[in-house]
Structure 1
Amino acid sequence: MWRLLWTIGFMASFLQTQRAAAANVLIHQGYFVEMSQMNCVGNPIYFTNINCKILPPLNRTMESSVELLKNLPTLSATLRVSLPNPKKVYTQIFAITFDVCKVIRERKRKMLIDFLVSTLARNSNVVMRCPFPKGNYYSKNISVTDLPPMLTENDFMAHFDIFIPKVAVVLNVTVRGHLFDTAKENARKKKYL
């Protein structure tokens, strides 16, 4: 009987250790972004006082503020990501266009879109419903981390366009930077420290 209890206790302890090790590995998987340039351009009919910037010293977070002059009844958005080829010419690798109001309303999202919406909801005062009311909006400490492990370390350029379908582009955000693999970055730090 004691042997059985000891074996069960040992296995439970072993599984607990393995679960902690697996959780530790999962924490260190994924990617983070270090930004080098960010531009925000708004349509003056809809936006004023646009301010967006990358926060030093690590250039891994950004913040922005804007004044929306009119209610926006419906919005769509396009996210385009480009990577440089060996000749340093950027080539678009994917583009996603989606109805912003539908995404917010239905909560059925692709992984990358879900990441964008949840990050904005968590770190800003942006109203996550349509129509978007006029007013002053800000976002603080927006960071691009914990991206899914399906990418490779590389420079990138991302364009995020928000538009009213068949009417006008209302906002464009362009970000350049470098995508780092968290595990590789941790290994590099250990090697040199």
Structure 2
Amino acid sequence: MILLLIQLIHYTETKRQLRWECFDCKIGPQFGDKMKCQVGGTRNSVLNVEVNLREELDAIKTYVKISTKFKITSPYRKFFDITFDGCRVITDMVQGTMVSNMFKAIVRSSNQPRKCPIKKGLIYYHNISLEEVLPMFVPNSYLFVEVGLFSKRQSYLNVTLRGEVSEK
């Protein structure tokens, strides 16, 4: 029992790091162009996105699915799967929650509007790092993240990420 407690204390004190292997973005041509999605940083730990929106987005439905696996040869298994109103989240964010901390990390170095509608023009997100808000309970694993954004029941942006969570 004491050994288990020591292991648990050590586990919660261990910092996590993310390394992204693949970052792919696709936007519907009627919604935007000049899209750039890049992995950066010294350990491939930050993400950069730029897109020129061709039309105003007055409603955003967001779908996020995170799958994990512990061995490279194993299949991915769904860990987290949620659909939500993106406009409501960006305007009514409850401070101090895990979701709000992740949202802040994503929009920290961006020109992301804090309410809808999102006007047409250049939208950018620079040096997105989720390491500092990654919950300690996330184990070492391989990640596959899928994000879909919809407006007026049409998919306008699809993002996929593959990476790895490990100890620092």
Superposition TM-score tier, normalisation by shorter sequence: 0.7 to 0.9
Q: Does structure 2 retain, via aligned residues, the 8 Å contact 1:30–1:148? A: no
Q: How does 1:1-193 map to 2 (within 5 A)?
A: 29-84=14-69, 86=71, 87-108=73-94, 111-146=97-132, 147-164=134-151, 167-181=153-167, 185=168
Distance 1:105 1:125 in 2: 15
Distance 1:123 1:142 in 2: 7
Q: Does structure 1 retain, via aligned residues, the 8 Å contact 2:112–2:123? A: yes
- What one-letter code is carried by the residue in structure 2 that aligns with 1:161? G
Compute the TM-score of the two structures, normalised by the length of structure 2. 0.83
Gaps of 5+ in 1: 1-24, 186-193
Deviation of the 1:30 alpha carbon = 4.2
Q: 1:114 to 1:30 in 2, by over 3 A?
A: farther
Higher helix proportion (structure 1 or 2): 1
Deviation of the 1:110 alpha carbon = 8.8
Note the alpha carbon deviations across 1:13-57, whole angstroms, 9 max, x for none: xxxxxxxxxxxx9xx654221101110011111011110110153
Q: Does structure 1 retain, via aligned residues, the 8 Å contact 2:70–2:141? A: no
- Matched residue pairs, number? 155
RMSD of equivalent CA atoms: 2.1
- What one-letter code is carried by the residue in structure 2 that aligns with 1:158? V
Compute the TM-score of the two structures, normalised by the length of structure 1. 0.73
Secondary structure of 1:123's counterpart equals coil
Deviation of the 1:151 alpha carbon = 1.1
Distance 1:75 1:54 in 2: 25
Select the structure of larger CA radius of gyration: 1
Secondary structure of 2:108's counterpart equals helix
